[in-house]
Amino acid sequence: MTLTLTPLPGIPMVRPGDDLGAIVLHGLEAAGLQLADGDVLVLAQKIVSKAEGRLVALNSVTPSARALELAARSEKDARVVELILQESREVLRVRPGTIIVEHRLGFVCASAGIDHSNVAGEGQADEEWVLLLPQDPDQSAARLRQRLEAASGARLGVMIIDSHGRAWRIGVVGAAIGFSGLPGIVDMRGQADLFGYTLRITLIAAADELAAAASLVMGQAAEGTPVVHGRGFPYPLREGSLGELLRPKEQDMFR
């Protein structure tokens, strides 16, 4: 089946308290798309975080002693480092320019996903604001899904993604940070291949493959389009959540 990924046009600058459901529905209308059973919607974390008011003014942040120490080692703003620490369970690596953490949501990422770009606060233009990840992206996705399913009558999947670096390979790719109504992992264990061998590859991170695909069409710069509609997701939709994708620390060979 063909997979079609369409970035929705005309998504406005999102502000705290904005109604994401209405924004997505308006974007779908602008794209000439009507939601159908099996469709998926993928949102960049940035607009979800903004709608949820996860902006923090840096001048409101007082760095702890530990943040000051990590700021010196990482050559980062100590106030941003303080927020990174507040949003993390564990610091895994520190290098000049880089802090890799286990986020409180369970995944490993740089700077706890705290974003300094495309962020404008409510105050003076020269104030510095940063954007934290949504409080609970699985729940954010579930709420939006409920809203969009109620409006459309269609059975949908909704996902929130961010861009994550990887061990071993250069560059970032889209990765799921929360979702509702679609599988995180598709388990092929026990299925036979064309020759009757058991499949070598048994756990497919379908949610992350969708996240990467949607990220590809979102872009990252000024012309970015933070909502993507997908049709033709090839696996059956079901309930699912981020936890499926998180490797327990004690089973991780590369921590």
- Considering only residues 94 to 123 of the shown chain, the ones binding its own copies according to CB under 8 A are 95, 98, 100, 107-108, 115-120
- The one-character DSSP state at 236 is -
Q: Does 197 bind its own copies (CB under 8 A)?
A: yes
Residues 217-236 that bind its own copies (CB under 8 A): 217, 219-222, 224, 232-234
Structure tokens at 16: 């705290």
User: Residue 62 CA to chain centroid, in angstroms?
Assistant: 27
Residue (of 136, 130, 151) closest to 23 by Cα position: 151
Choice between 96 and 153, CB closer to its own copies: 96
- In the set 14, 56, 208, 241, which binds its own copies (CB under 8 A)? 208
Could you report how far apart the first and last alpha carbons of the chain are, in Å? 38
CB of 146 to its own copies, least distance (A): 25
Residues 30-69 that bind its own copies (CB under 8 A): none
Structure tokens at 196: 């009757």
CB of 5 to its own copies, least distance (A): 5
Alpha carbon distance 140, 160 (integer Å): 8
Name the H helices within 31-125: 45-51, 65-74, 78-86
- In the set 60, 62, 153, 200, which binds its own copies (CB under 8 A)? 200
Residues 163-192 that bind its own copies (CB under 8 A): 163, 166-175, 184-185, 188, 191-192
Cβ pair 17, 5 in contact under 8 A: no
Choice between 69 and 128, CB closer to its own copies: 128
Q: Does 201 bind its own copies (CB under 8 A)?
A: yes
CB of 181 to its own copies, least distance (A): 17
- Amino acid present at 80: V
Q: Residue with structure tokens 């809203």?
A: 147
- The one-character DSSP state at 167 is S
- Amino acid present at 222: A
Residues 64-93 that bind its own copies (CB under 8 A): 93
Q: Does 247 bind its own copies (CB under 8 A)?
A: yes
Stretch that binds its own copies, among 61-69, 82-90, 152-160, 198-206 (CB under 8 A): 198-206
Q: Does 126 bind its own copies (CB under 8 A)?
A: no
Alpha carbon distance 236, 38 (integer Å): 8
Residues 141-160 that bind its own copies (CB under 8 A): none
Alpha carbon distance 111, 93 (integer Å): 10
Choice between 143 and 231, CB closer to its own copies: 231
